[in-house]
Chain A
Amino acid sequence: MTHSPKNRGKCEISLMVNGRPETVRVYPMERLLDVLRQELGLTGTKEGCGEGECGSCSVLIDGKLVNSCLIPALQAEGTNLTTIEGLAEGPQLHALQTAFLECGGAQCGICTPGMILAACQLLEKKPNPTLDDIREGLSGNLCRCTGYMQIFDAVMEAARRNPA
């Protein structure tokens, strides 16, 4: 990750997005969230609070959950990024997406992409989570519709269908 002080203004940033190499020309301080939505057309990532509190804009960078509203574009150079668009394999939804649909884990949908990516990281670390693990794993993702119970059910169901 280098960017010479002499190169003011926009710079080229290359990264892997959902398994595909991408290069964008953006200001280095542009928020990764805006790069995803406006430059790459990946509008599945949502903006909620815009200050790292709500988790709506969560994506995975090198497998780790982050708030894309708090990442300057330059710091994404050379990383491997996964957004909600990268979870399904063709028409085959990810187990978490299926479980969210079946359990009523999504209502207005603004928190859903972030919830699912947070759940992805949780199940990566804890394939057989307890309810407390799920509550803690999703504690940085706020939902104002569901009351959370259907979301917890969905994560539990996805874990049950994909035993470690």
Chain B
Amino acid sequence: MRSNPADCELIAPGTLQAVLSLLSDEPGQWLPIAGGTDVMVQYAAGNLPARRLVSIWNLPELRGIVISPDEITIGAGCTYTELQEHDVIARELPLLASAARWTGGIANQNRGTLGGNIVNASPAADSLPALLAYEAELILVSVRGERRVPYLGFHTDYKKMKLAPDELIRAICLGRRFSNYLHYARKVGARDAQAISKVCVAALGRLRSGATGSVIDDVRIALGSVAPVPLRLTEVERIAKGKPVGPELVQLTRKMTTGAIQPIDDIRSTARYRSAVAGNLVAEFLQQLRGSGKTV
């Protein structure tokens, strides 16, 4: 049953400092709401546990994309539309730009934010594997100050994360060091647009010349919708480095991928199908890497 608006409080303090003070004074009492594309869905279904909400939509301190020589800093309140339309992101972080295009319809892309996608913590979120592949770091802010943490490991279990009750994500930082990598992104869903992924993958790789031909110099592979949290396949990456891409490696990584993930049966797919597709996508990525000419 739908929530009753008379039972809910929503305030918009208007500045980051005022929001942080509120979160600090009454930790755990206030649910931040940005574009509302997840929170309002739960609210409409009567499933929102929070009764007190604080708007962080359009807070200037959470907006903007800053380009420095080494890094791209994306305000947590940036929308998917802003990510897609930014030239540098489209050019240097195509995995993130693709994920932004896949997430929801245009109306939701105009409201959904990258920070919101992280804290909503859906294992099926399309942007999160891209953040893992690019080794994003998060700037977390509270009245106690800021701290910078790697995104890898931020999600500890289904919908659980290392974010204190008085903290917000202020920005997401991504290094500008992947220009000579193959960027591979693929989403498998019921349809191309506006369908939640059955499996999605974001991967980066480059080759180098070895004694007997090209071998994998560096590789990063991340998957969504196959575990309680977005997953980076660090063990698969470790095994693949230094090896030539051939049928043997493709077969091994396919098998390892299937072993590393914990897919489930749900309304969108089955564990069996997700396993098969995840293995196929990793294999497809490696085959594309072999022919990519992306060499150190």
Contact = CB atoms under 8 A, between A and B. Distances in A.
Q: Which secondary structure dominates chain A's binding surface?
A: loop
Given A2-B13, A3-B10, A66-B110, A74 B55 contact: yes
A116 interface: no
Contact of A50 (B6, B22, B44): B44
Contact of A139 (B10, B53, B58, B193): B193
B108 interface: yes
A55 B111 CA distance: 13
A1 B258 CA distance: 49
A140 B36 contact: no
Contact of B10 (A58, A72, A136, A141): A72
B194 interface: yes
Contact of B107 (A2, A4, A77, A140): A140
B8 interface: yes
Given A51-B45, A53-B194, A64-B110, A5 B11 contact: yes
Given A69-B44, A75-B36, A136-B193, A5 B22 contact: yes
B37 interface: yes
B49 to A, nearest CB: 14
Interface in A1-26: 1-5, 8-9, 26
Q: What 8 A-B pairs have minimum CB-CB distances, sorted nearest first?
A: A140-B105, A139-B193, A27-B5, A28-B10, A70-B40, A29-B8, A29-B5, A30-B5
Interface of A: 1-5, 8-9, 26-31, 50-53, 55, 58, 64-67, 69-72, 74-75, 77, 118, 121, 136-137, 139-141
14 contacts: A1-B14, A27-B5, A27-B6, A29-B8, A31-B44, A52-B107, A66-B107, A67-B37, A67-B107, A71-B40, A74-B10, A75-B55, A118-B107, A140-B105
Contacts of A30: 5
Contacts of A2: 12-14
Nearest to B34: A75
